[in-house]
């Protein structure tokens, strides 16, 4: 039995950090209803190509919103806030989440203090750039810069670089996911709700375990080093005759095996027997390895070095990742009943019971306000005339 199918999340969400969090919850079978302003909506709906030929369904939005329902609601109006109260109570909402700035919590009627009056065991989640006391806006690259990720990414003599995925967004989502699971357990045991505040900056810097300890405790300067490793060598990207590989020699025994491989015997320098010697001469060592790997085809090199226990992988394109035999069986799917458009979605970190039971398929990302009639009319019992009136007034 999948216990999460009885959980309902109402999420005032936009951009990436909350949509990815609720997308992760959808994969557990949680019912997720996203709230959007009836005029502005989620800006990410309009990012990317308009592959479906319809407004607010662009490709960037489609990536992390499958499996959800969508409502429009203007919380700037009293009637909108009244509808929010009814949604919380009549839907039996378990989790309310928002990534609005804290200064808007009371104005929109979405603060923990207000919503927990409607449902005392509510789990409330607020995700902000810098914590609930601060109204400074933040985008993912801002957090990458301020939180040290860009300082650690790029070539040693080059400019700082952003990480290739929005890691502050998605990493904060994962931290929020864990906090929600804890809060659900606490509620199951005690019956109590929880307020959860997530700072994206705190999330980012929590990963700087080695950099912060070594810099602050031992005065070590930690900065970007390109593809090499601070403490192990050889560890880097090396060119082959037809692409690139990442090779990681993790200890002296593996190094001894490496230099016995035919064609690599010339690397058997006594100074390189210990990792400390290899680190001390890492630039020259890497150039020597590059000269040798350039002469080998990728597939043959990987097969040869794996046979002696070394960790090596081809640097795959995204298409190749999706075709990897370890990845391809776990990809998710979604199909639009209106246009027939099929989506291939990234695999979950863990295949859930819900996904397995549903053949790894999720409903298509919801259109703007797609479920207004079903939820406002069906669950809340509003008539067609009342729905039309609310729409004309800009409430929904």
Question: Which residues have a catalytic role annotated?
Answer: 169
- Cβ atoms of 229 and 250 within 8 Å: the answer is no
Q: Where are the alpha helices (DSSP H) in the chain?
A: 17-26, 59-62, 78-90, 105-108, 112-118, 140-146, 167-190, 200-205, 209-218, 252-258, 275-280, 282-293, 298-306, 318-323, 353-357, 372, 384-392
C-alpha 157: how far from chain center: 29
For β-strands 342-345 and 332-335, DSSP reports them as antiparallel
Please provide residue 51's backbone torsions phi and psi, each rounded to the nearest 5 degrees.
Answer: -70, -25
- CA-closest candidate to residue 239, choices 184, 189, 297, 170: 297
Dist. CA 202–CA 212, nearest whole Å: 13
- Residue 97 per-residue DSSP state: E
Q: CA–CA distance from 360 to each of 183, 326, 329, 332 (Å)?
A: 27, 15, 10, 5
Q: CA–CA distance from 279 to each of 250, 289, 299 (Å)?
A: 12, 14, 27
- Cβ atoms of 311 and 238 within 8 Å: the answer is no
Q: Where are the alpha helices (DSSP H) in 209-293?
A: 209-218, 252-258, 275-280, 282-293
Dist. CA 39–CA 27, nearest whole Å: 29
């Amino acid at each position: 039995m999948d216990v999460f199918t009885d959980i309902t999340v109402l999420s005032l969400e936009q951009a990436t950090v909350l949509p990815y969090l609720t997308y992760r919850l959808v994969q557990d079978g949680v019912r997720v209803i996203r709230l959007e302003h009836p005029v502005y909506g989620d800006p990410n709906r309009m990012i990317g190509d308009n592959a479906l030929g319809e407004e607010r369904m662009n490709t960037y939005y489609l990536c992390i919103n499958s499996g959800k329902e969508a409502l429009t609601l203007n919380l700037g109006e009293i009637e909108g806030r009244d509808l929010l109260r009814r949604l919380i109570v009549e839907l039996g909402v378990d989790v309310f989440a928002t990534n609005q700035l804290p200064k808007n919590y009371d104005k929109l009627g979405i603060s923990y203090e207000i919503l927990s009056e409607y449902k005392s065991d509510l789990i409330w989640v607020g995700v902000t750039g810098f914590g609930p006391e601060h109204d400074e806006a933040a985008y993912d690259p801002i957090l990458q810069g301020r939180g040290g990720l860009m300082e650690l990414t790029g070539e040693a003599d080059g400019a700082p670089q952003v990480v290739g995925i929005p890691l502050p967004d998605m990493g904060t989502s994962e931290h929020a996911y864990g906090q929600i699971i804890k809060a659900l357990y606490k509620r199951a045991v005690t019956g109590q709700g929880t307020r959860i505040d997530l700072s994206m900056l705190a999330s980012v810097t929590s990963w700087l375990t080695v950099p912060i300890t070594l810099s602050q405790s031992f005065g070590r300067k930690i900065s970007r080093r390109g593809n090499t490793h601070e403490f192990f060598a050889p560890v880097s990207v090396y060119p082959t005759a037809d692409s690139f590989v990442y090779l990681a020699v993790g200890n002296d025994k593996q190094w001894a095996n490496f230099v016995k491989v035919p064609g690599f015997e010339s690397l058997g320098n006594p100074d390189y027997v210990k990792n400390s010697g290899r680190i001390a001469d890492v630039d020259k060592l890497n150039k020597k390895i590059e000269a040798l790997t350039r002469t080998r085809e990728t597939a043959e090199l990987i097969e040869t070095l794996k046979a002696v226990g070394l960790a090596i992988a081809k640097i795959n394109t995204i298409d190749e990742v999706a075709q990897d035999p370890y990845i391809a069986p776990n990809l998710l799917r979604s199909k639009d009943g209106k246009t027939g458009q099929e989506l291939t979605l990234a695999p979950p970190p863990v295949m859930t019971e819900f996904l397995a039971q549903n053949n790894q398929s999720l409903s298509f990302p919801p259109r703007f306000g797609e479920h207004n009639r079903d939820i406002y009319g069906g669950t809340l019992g509003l008539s067609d005339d009342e729905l039309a009136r609310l729409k004309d007034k800009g409430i929904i």
